[in-house]
Amino acid sequence: MLKLMYITNRPAVAQIAERAGVDRIFVDMEYLGKSERQKNMDTVQSHHSIADIAAIRAAVSSAQVLVRINPIHEALPGLPASKEEIDAAIAAGADLLMLPYFKTPGEVERFLQCVAGRVRTMLLVETAEAVAQIDEILALSGIDEVHIGLNDLSLGYGKKFMFELLVDGTVEQLCFKLRKRGLSYGFGGIAALGSGMLPAECIIREHYRLGSGCVILSRSFCDTSKVQELDTVNRIFQQGVREIRALEAECRSHAAYFWNNEAELRSRVTAVCQKLYPSEA
């Protein structure tokens, strides 16, 4: 099943999401450069804090706490340098740290050195520069997961609609490289089934085709800035997650045909090579 991630710093909402089956509560501290990059887009800019991490950590039990830090940076007024920010996030209870908006292997390496294996790491690939150097980046030790961020990556490529990256080969090529490395990966976000400019059903099926393992439940899945009543929030999550899981069961039943064929293909090719070239086996 896809790991479902939802952005919130409200403990009560986090508990509702967890009970509905959301796997990761996403605390989003990133703000450096984000408003400038996404000034013409209707995107979430959360400005969560270290205190929010601790509050969410205390509120949930089975769900993991995923924290998106700021891009690699030196100390700024009101914001400690990346190393101190990472240390504070881990101390507050983060299970995973996500590095956004990097462009070079050096930035990733610095992030991994700061984390030093204390929690799981997730890279958010969302710049054309990172895609161009993805092989060098993925060769670094200490990367646990990768998420492909469609909002900023589509901006970087000058696309008009972020899901164009699903049809021009960009996401598929990245998924292929990640799968070869044996890394867990996901991409983008989804609304509730039956909604969204691109139906969530289409996107979920594409996740299964590409071997993705996680997705963000977007703001439009449950916009708590508009839906204030917790009973209503609970109904939205219970119904929405239940519908997603039902569609996933359908996806798995069809995908198993191709997964089983791939396993058989690999086994047969290996057997033929061993028979033809036994000295090299």
Q: Determine, yes or no, domain membership for 279.
A: no
pLDDT (mean) for 145-160? 96
Q: Which residue has the tokens 């791939």?
A: 262
Length of the chain counted residue by residue? 281
Q: Determine, yes or no, domain membership for 274.
A: no
Whether residue 99 contacts residue 122, with contact meaning beta carbons closer than 8 Å, is answered with yes
Which range, of 41-45, 76-80, 139-143, 198-202, averages the lowest pLDDT?
Answer: 41-45
Q: Determine, yes or no, domain membership for 277.
A: no
Output the pLDDT for position 36.
Answer: 74
User: At a CB cut-off of 8 Å and minimum separation 6, what does 204 contact?
Assistant: 2, 190, 215, 244, 247, 248, 251
Q: Determine, yes or no, domain membership for 268.
A: no
Q: Determine, yes or no, domain membership for 267.
A: no
Q: Determine, yes or no, domain membership for 264.
A: no
Q: Determine, yes or no, domain membership for 202.
A: yes
pLDDT (mean) for 225-243? 97
Range(s) of the domain holding residue 113? 3-255
The domain total for the chain is 1
What are residue 40's phi and psi, to 5 degrees? -105, 15
221/240 Cα distance (integer angstroms): 8
The yes-or-no verdict on residue 259 having pLDDT over 90 is no
- Convert the pLDDT of each residue in 113-141 to its tens digit: 999 999 999 999 999 999 999 999 999 99
- Convert the pLDDT of each residue in 33-59 to its tens digit: 776 766 655 556 678 999 999 999 999
* Average model confidence (pLDDT) across the chain: 94
Output the pLDDT for position 34.
Answer: 75
Q: Determine, yes or no, domain membership for 280.
A: no
Query: What CATH number is attached to the domain comprising 187?
Result: 3.20.20.60
pLDDT band at 281 (very low <50, low <70, confident <90, very high): low
